[in-house]
Amino acid sequence: MKRVPWSICTTVRNPERLRDFLRVLKQLEGSDFKSENQIQYQVLLIKERLYSPTKIPSSHRFLIDDFAKEIPLDIARKIFDFQHYEDPPMRGRQSVNPLNKLGFSIAKDTAGVIKITSLGNLFLSPESDIGYIFFKSLLKLQFPNPWSDDFTDKKGFNIRPFIAVLHLINKIKKLSREEFSIFCPTLVHFKDIDKYSKYILKLRSLKSKSEKDKFIKKFLKEFYGTKSLDRIQIDNLFDYGDNAMRYFRLTRYFRIAKQPLGRWMIELEPARTKEIEQLLALYDGSAIKFKSVNEYIDYLSDIDKPELPWELDYEKSKDVALSLIDIVKKDFNDLTDVLKVKVAEVYKSILNTDLNTLDSRGIAIFINELRNLRGEIIEIKRGSILRKNINQLKDILSIFKDKKKFRELEPVEFEHMISQCLKIINDELQIKPNCILDDEGSPIGFAPGNKADIEGYYESFNSIFEATLDVSRHQVYRESVPVMRHLKDFEGINTGKPAFCVFVAPRVHSDTVNYFWYSVKYGFEGRKQSIVALDLAHFVEILEFFINAIEQRKNFTHRNLKTLFELITSNAAGKESSTNWFADVSKIIKDWQRSIVL
């Protein structure tokens, strides 16, 4: 039988971007999703700069290039029409497809009016737990379903991918990136889980690369039902595998261990062992059968579905809590006595809770408190390891300066490394990364759109830190005005001290610099701002100077940083162009270094 692999969503590689797509769709909620509104949705995505068409009329190029200006709806429609698509409504259908597939919306021409589901509305809240949202979403994802014309039972599909992969990894313990990409998207029937685990063990038993390649090719030929393989069939599997891994990891039920040369291993999250055991005992990975499309729609729309074992059984929820208590105790006991003091009061209060006095809701709240406490303990332990850890800083800088290693970094990893560098300097009151963390404190997702990447609180000043790997012109739209707004909001909340924004990119785009220069010299929304734009080379130079100062036992404090930031921002006043202002940054850093040495 000729088969095809399953996939979650290759239209939008970054799962968090779906929130913006959903936000735009909500503008059409209550309307039908027939041809005209399918087009209208795509037009709105252009208007909101969430979709960039390849062809732009020359008369509107200035508007597209000026990211500070809004794109009027009528202009967005003209840009859409200028593409001359063969099937214009199809563009809107493709863009909304991942939202429907993941249960965030109901937007089909045959399903009545557009509706944002309860799960979708929760997703739209910036303060919501994105891990929980994608967990509930991926539990619903199944093939076949009444809305899928591609992954049908006639084509051999009977699977809930999230559950099936949990079962598979539970048997194998961990999967490499290659194993995950070859065997997970091609696992299309839950009854094949045992067979696939044997395939993986067989592949691992082979000694030579040629034997392994031969085995994989034979397996894929049988799967696709072909006598030969083309490059696309293999490449697609790695695209689907990488994409599925991103989505699965957000649930916090999988843990990724990165290895050299872009390789990674995926395993089940140890801190959720009890929940995983209960899920696997209740669900075998088979798809649910629905009597009608409406029944399936009701299922997607219900935030309480599917039912979770620990929500159905009070004793099972207690088992989850008890397993977490053991983990928290171990983590707490691993702290030094000095570090234990920081959480001792909260630790004692939570651990003295009598579970027998809590109802189901109380247990759920208690479990959440345990996870928060564990996160705080992990952060304290890691922070203590990072304090003035020059060797760790040198390791990070070696990655920053190695082009091959640097290319392997995920954007959120770069952001997290910046926060580690700031903690190593060891002169802050608090460094607060706003990225989404897994249960082990590793980054898995970006900060919510209304927050800075990192917040830094010092005795003499406060600062936000923004980091991006984007060096294209998209950097201007994504990082200029949003960053300026983050600083404005941050200043409004944290008064009484000077507030800076430090922006770091491998290369700061000249247009981004121009926006920042204008904000520093003339103001943003009526007020001048203090923004420091740094190429990664500038940031590395500052950190290498810090290493040198510490190794020579020189004094280096937050006041030194404040002086540098003031020197860079004040220099904008005497410059008539952003180019001249940014060109001076290297010289200012060198003069600043000499002043400290002297």
Rounded CA separation 344/341 (Å): 5
- The candidate with the shortest Cα–Cα distance to 249, out of 81, 349, 161, 135, is 135
pLDDT at 68: 66
Structure tokens at 325: 């208590």
pLDDT at 1: 64
Q: N- to C-terminal Cα distance for the chain? A: 77
Cβ proximity of 145 and 290 under 8 Å = yes
The set of long-range contacts for 289-292, using a CB threshold of 8 Å and a minimum separation of 24, is: 290/145, 290/146, 292/146
Rounded CA separation 24/94 (Å): 14
pLDDT at 409: 87
- Burial class of residue 357 (count of CB atoms within 10 Å of its CB; 0-12, 13-18, 19+): exposed
Cβ proximity of 80 and 45 under 8 Å = no
Cβ proximity of 14 and 69 under 8 Å = no
pLDDT at 517: 96
Rounded CA separation 49/65 (Å): 11
Rounded CA separation 360/457 (Å): 39
DSSP 60: G
Block residue for tokens 């189901």: 360
DSSP result, 258-323: E-GGG-EEEEE-GGGHHHHHHHHHH--SPPPP-SSHHHHHHHHH-TT-SPPHHHH-HHHHHHHHHH
pLDDT at 128: 85
Rounded CA separation 299/288 (Å): 10
Residues 6+ apart with CB under 8 A from 151: 4, 6, 143, 144, 157, 188
DSSP 463: E
pLDDT at 279: 97
Residues 6+ apart with CB under 8 A from 62: none
Rounded CA separation 276/255 (Å): 13
Query: What pTM does this model have?
Result: 0.88
Residues of the chain with pLDDT under 70: 1, 10, 66-68, 259-262, 597-598
Using alpha carbons, list the distances in angstroms from residue 331 to 268, 334, 368, 371, 381.
19, 5, 16, 12, 9
Return the ∠ at Cα 351 (arms to 349 and 353), rounded to 5°.
75
Are β-strands 436-437 and 443-445 bridged in parallel, bridged antiparallel, or unpaired?
antiparallel
Q: Which residues, listed in sequence order, are joined to residue 445 by a DSSP beta bridge?
A: 436
Residue 78 CA to its chain's centroid (Å): 33
Using alpha carbons, list the distances in angstroms from residue 248 to 124, 161, 166, 445.
19, 10, 10, 12
